[in-house]
Structure 1
Amino acid sequence: MKVTFLNPPQTNSKYKFLGVVAPSLGIGYMAAVLEKHHIDVDVLDASALELTYDEIGEEILKRNPDIVSISALTPTIGVALDSADKIKQVKPDTVIVLGGYHPTFEYESVLEEKSVDVVIRGEGEYTFLELVQTIENNGDLRNVAGLAFHDKSDNSLIVTPDRPVIQNLDELPFPAFHLFPMEKYRILNITTNVATIITTRGCPMQCSFCSSAALHGHKLRRRSVGNVVDEVEMRLKEQNIDTIAFMDDTFTLNKRFVNEFCAEIKRRNLKFWWGCTSRVDTLDKELLQTMKDAGCITIFIGVESADQQMLEKMNKNITVTKTENAFKIAHEVGIRTIASCVIGMPEDTHESIKQTIDFVKNLKPNYALYSLATPYPGTRFYNETFKKNLINIKDWSKYTLLDPVLQTIDCSSQELRSIQKKAFLKFYLRPNYLIRQVSSDGLILLKTVLGVSRQIISKQTNGNTDYNKTNVNQTK
């Protein structure tokens, strides 16, 4: 059997806004497991290569796989299905498998598409391996845990039992990044030799909007320090990597792990830049200094809201005071910060949104991301908003965090769009902010900021760059 993994073209999302194009960890792990079992596999990253659907079809004909696996998030499910259609047109006998977050929770609607043969639900490494082996041996897919598909005899929906999550993450081979076009990846629109690494799966926190916990569960599973640093060292030596983004939900959740990781990095004398995500209640000055000494330059921090009642409704379990302290000590240590907040929760008001936008600006982060509240399938937030009939838009391509799909107590969807646009522009086009970026990070970073601002203007004014004429009823 020959297998091709397809990462579909990228749509608008927070990653595109931040200028992030990175290799898919999910595809990397699944490809590595297949390689370990001597299965012929390659990767077609249509997002990084900026391929059209016709070009995807040409590549599939050239590579001639028996099975094509397509990964899909909620906003990319449309392009994933369109890619599947194109593959079926040019090579009808190809088995099309969809996996990832969205197909896991929306497998019924996904399987309504004639181009999709099988959906993988949940963590895919061993499910996909067993699927390939079963197809190769003409076996019965009903015996493979973690699948959904239609029976060919009567078109009935078959959902096999859930597959248990992988408990020992150290047993997984490192992602097969050698199959990816590594020269095509970038962060903040700056081309760099970047790798993505994850050290945990699952999240014990209870944030209502968290899609990761919905997929991987609330029990935290962690790789060993030695296993993680072995991968770091391999990436540096074999793939000429100079930047690593740790993609954990909360990299700093366990301070002992972080301290041991940083100590091992220094013991092996590994030199590279890295960034990670964090919660404000997991940071202290000593930890941040340790991280900086080991090469950490940027932390993505979930601020979410400046309204304590809103934080409680999100089950965020943090305080505004802790948020202020986290940014204060990050500034003191000299680590760049990305502040992420969510506006447009159903209970949000004009006043609470304004409070949050002003609060983020006063935190003085290097970057700010004002996401619109987006209920993803599988989350408690989605279940609650769906039950209350609060979702205005069912077009999954709009579930990008940059398009309004809800409205609040006193803000319409259109108002939220205008508020978000004005928030971005007021943050990134402040003279003091631009001067600070030049002095601290140089002209390349300033160019990135201006590029981000142009993206906002172009996207949210439909190409009308005279954005001062846009009607904005209320901003934060």
Structure 2
Amino acid sequence: MLVPLGLAYIASVLENEGNDIEIIDMNAEKVTDEHLQRRVSDADVVGITGMITEYQEVLRITNIIKETNRHIKVVLGGPLATTTPQELLQISQADFVVIGEGERTIADLVSAIKQGDNFADIKGIGCKDGNQISITDRPEPIANLNIIPFPARHLLDMNRYVQNQFHSFSSKMEGFGEIKSTNLITSRGCPYSCTFCFRDMWGYKWRGRSPENIVEEMEFLYAKYGINGFFFNDDTFVLDRNRVFEFCNLLKERKLNVVWFCNGRVNLMTKELLEAMYEAGCKEIAYGIESGSQKMLNSLKKSITLEQVRNTVKWTKQAGISANGYFMIGLPGETKEDIRQTIGFAEELDLGFYGFSLLTPLPGTELYNAAVEKGLIQADMASLKDWAFNTNVNLTKDCSNEDLVAFKNEIFRKFTLKNFGKYYMFNPAFLKRATKVALSLQNINEAKDLARKTKGIIQSYWHKA
């Protein structure tokens, strides 16, 4: 379970402004509708964040809050609100949306709500005035991320989140002792142009926290919660090599005995950088490899080569770091031979962990717009309900839906069973995690979604022969 950093950052900013704040993590807490109503009944403002896959749940929670107290101002934020602000205000009972990076905007908005001010001068919001909806210009991104206070983790039950998340990758940290890990983020923005990636939240301009600021947060978490394992959720943690070198040196200077994981990019890694990262406690790096076909990588505008992948994976292993990789199939114009190349390339790399997925064009991406133009996706809010179950669109050149399912089952056999064993579904750790998921269900719709997903997993499992 990951700390909801977006909510925690917003909460921290608002708390610093003198507001009484409560965080309700619907993913971590078992909150019934009645319990939710009791907790929000006296609130002046309720903010809701959500991904595109949570569209229906965002609408449902908005309705519950308005039914509880119609005077509560409901503010929607996150990727869903950023992608479709106008449409969300039209179809939901929400009063406002915050578009993109929210810390500065939400502070201005809450202040204006409390004082009854005009909202027209607040950048980065959408609001209703009767039947009229207005969307203001987006503000400039926050240039200095060091000025943002640390996430308000004290408003969460951290016992829900502090765990050995390295187990998710079947990692073994021999000689290190008990690992208590959590997630944090050290940078925002990405300058690359991958067609499948959603960048509207943080933008194209990369901004990084200073090494001192990062290590200060790590030391705080170590002292307060005993956390000694860190998952950096940045899209491009390694973009500024000098920053990474400084960060690694500072960790060693402070003698902070920790392990950590980050996302890397194969075109940015060097042997020297990887060696420095290992000496500073880096145990795993995940690379977005995506495909074993150079033609497909070029079509995705990934800006990497297969040779860079081979070299970087080799260097990562030589440095003593576990190399993990993420791949996709079902790409635009992809052929069966391309998918075969991807499977063969993945086997050749012999990674510590494999993550495979069927391509899903997300609203707000170049890939999604192309699919809309071809008539493969409806560009309206009615179709968003399908995203609650990870809708996939077949954009390949010569693969039927049945072909893609067959490839998915083959990948499952070759990589999931290889990593976790033939009887992984009966592994105590897996069963414990599955039980937690089942107990966290909020309503019948979530139960139905889980049942559908479980059915798919079981079908894949029994097709392993």
TM-score (norm 2): 0.86
Q: Structure 1 residue 414: deviation in Å? A: 4.7
Which residue does 1:416 correspond to in 2? 404
Q: Does 1:315 align with 2:293?
A: no
Q: Deviations for 1:55-89, whole angstroms, at most 9, x for unmatched residues?
A: 4334324xx21111011111122212211112222
How has the CA–CA distance of structure 1 residues 220 and 337 changed in structure 2, closer, same or farther, with 3 Å as cutoff?
A: same
Q: Structure 1 residue 342: deviation in Å? A: 1.4
Letter in 2 for 1:302: G
Q: Structure 1 residue 194: deviation in Å? A: 3.1
Contact 1:374 1:406 in 2 (8 A): no
Which residue does 1:124 correspond to in 2? 102
Q: Structure 1 residue 459: deviation in Å? A: 5.4
1:254 equivalent among 240, 246, 264: 240
Q: Does 1:201 align with 2:179?
A: no
Structure 1 SS opposite 2:230? strand
How has the CA–CA distance of structure 1 residues 192 and 27 changed in structure 2, closer, same or farther, with 3 Å as cutoff?
A: farther
Which residue does 1:149 correspond to in 2? 127
1:137 equivalent among 112, 115, 131: 115
User: How does 1:420-439 map onto structure 2 within 5 Å?
Assistant: 420-430=408-418, 433=419
Q: Structure 1 residue 462: deviation in Å? A: 2.1
Letter in 1 for 2:286: F
Aligned residues: 439
Contact 2:261 2:282 in 1 (8 A): yes
Letter in 1 for 2:196: F
Which residue does 2:268 correspond to in 1? 282
Q: Structure 1 residue 369: deviation in Å? A: 1.0
Q: Structure 1 residue 133: deviation in Å? A: 0.4
| Unmatched segments (≥5 aa) in structure 2 | 169-177, 438-449
Q: Does 1:38 align with 2:18?
A: yes
* Cα distance in 2, alignment partners of residues 75 and 189 from structure 1: 26
Q: Structure 1 residue 464: deviation in Å? A: 8.0
Contact 2:413 2:464 in 1 (8 A): no
1:161 equivalent among 131, 134, 137: 137
* Cα distance in 2, alignment partners of residues 158 and 462 from structure 1: 44
Q: Deviations for 1:431-453, whole angstroms, at most 9, x for unmatched residues?
A: xx558x9xxxxx9x976579899
Please give the root-mean-square deviation of Cα atoms over the aligned residues, in Å.
Answer: 3.1
User: How does 1:315-334 map onto structure 2 within 5 Å?
Assistant: 315-334=301-320
Q: What is the percentage of aligned positions where both structures have the same residue?
A: 32
Between 318-327 and 85-94, the greater mean CA deviation after superposition: 85-94
Structure 2 SS opposite 1:420? helix
Contact 1:68 1:95 in 2 (8 A): yes
Q: Structure 1 residue 350: deviation in Å? A: 1.4
Q: Structure 1 residue 401: deviation in Å? A: 9.4
Q: Structure 1 residue 468: deviation in Å? A: 6.7
Q: Does 1:238 align with 2:216?
A: no
| Unmatched segments (≥5 aa) in structure 1 | 1-20, 438-442
User: How does 1:15-414 map onto structure 2 within 5 Å?
Assistant: 21-61=1-41, 64-152=42-130, 155-185=131-161, 186=163, 187=165, 193-212=180-199, 214-391=200-377, 395-396=383-384, 399=387, 403-414=391-402
Letter in 1 for 2:243: F
Q: Structure 1 residue 156: deviation in Å? A: 1.3
Between 261-270 and 246-255, the greater mean CA deviation after superposition: 246-255
Contact 1:428 1:453 in 2 (8 A): no
Q: Deviations for 1:363-402, whole angstroms, at most 9, x for unmatched residues?
A: 1212111122122222222222212223379744654896
* Cα distance in 1, alignment partners of residues 112 and 370 from structure 2: 39
Q: Does 1:465 align with 2:458?
A: yes
Letter in 2 for 1:264: L
How has the CA–CA distance of structure 1 residues 466 and 342 changed in structure 2, closer, same or farther, with 3 Å as cutoff?
A: closer
How has the CA–CA distance of structure 1 residues 194 and 209 changed in structure 2, closer, same or farther, with 3 Å as cutoff?
A: same
* Cα distance in 1, alignment partners of residues 181 and 36 from structure 2: 24
How has the CA–CA distance of structure 1 residues 37 and 464 changed in structure 2, closer, same or farther, with 3 Å as cutoff?
A: closer
How has the CA–CA distance of structure 1 residues 56 and 176 changed in structure 2, closer, same or farther, with 3 Å as cutoff?
A: same
* Cα distance in 2, alignment partners of residues 375 and 466 from structure 1: 25
How has the CA–CA distance of structure 1 residues 25 and 468 changed in structure 2, closer, same or farther, with 3 Å as cutoff?
A: closer
Between 336-345 and 262-271, the greater mean CA deviation after superposition: 336-345
* Cα distance in 2, alignment partners of residues 73 and 451 from structure 1: 26
Q: Structure 1 residue 92: deviation in Å? A: 2.4
Q: Structure 1 residue 284: deviation in Å? A: 2.4
Structure 2 SS opposite 1:122? coil
Contact 2:77 2:99 in 1 (8 A): yes
How has the CA–CA distance of structure 1 residues 60 and 415 changed in structure 2, closer, same or farther, with 3 Å as cutoff?
A: farther
Letter in 2 for 1:408: T
Letter in 2 for 1:35: E
* Cα distance in 2, alignment partners of residues 466 and 78 from structure 1: 27
How has the CA–CA distance of structure 1 residues 447 and 277 changed in structure 2, closer, same or farther, with 3 Å as cutoff?
A: farther
Contact 1:150 1:158 in 2 (8 A): yes
* Cα distance in 2, alignment partners of residues 198 and 232 from structure 1: 11
Q: Deviations for 1:37-67, whole angstroms, at most 9, x for unmatched residues?
A: 1111111111011434444334324xx2111
Structure 1 SS opposite 2:323? strand
Contact 1:122 1:215 in 2 (8 A): yes
Q: Structure 1 residue 344: deviation in Å? A: 0.8
Q: Structure 1 residue 416: deviation in Å? A: 2.4
* Cα distance in 2, alignment partners of residues 206 and 465 from structure 1: 36
Structure 1 SS opposite 2:51? coil
How has the CA–CA distance of structure 1 residues 46 and 434 changed in structure 2, closer, same or farther, with 3 Å as cutoff?
A: closer
TM-score (norm 1): 0.84
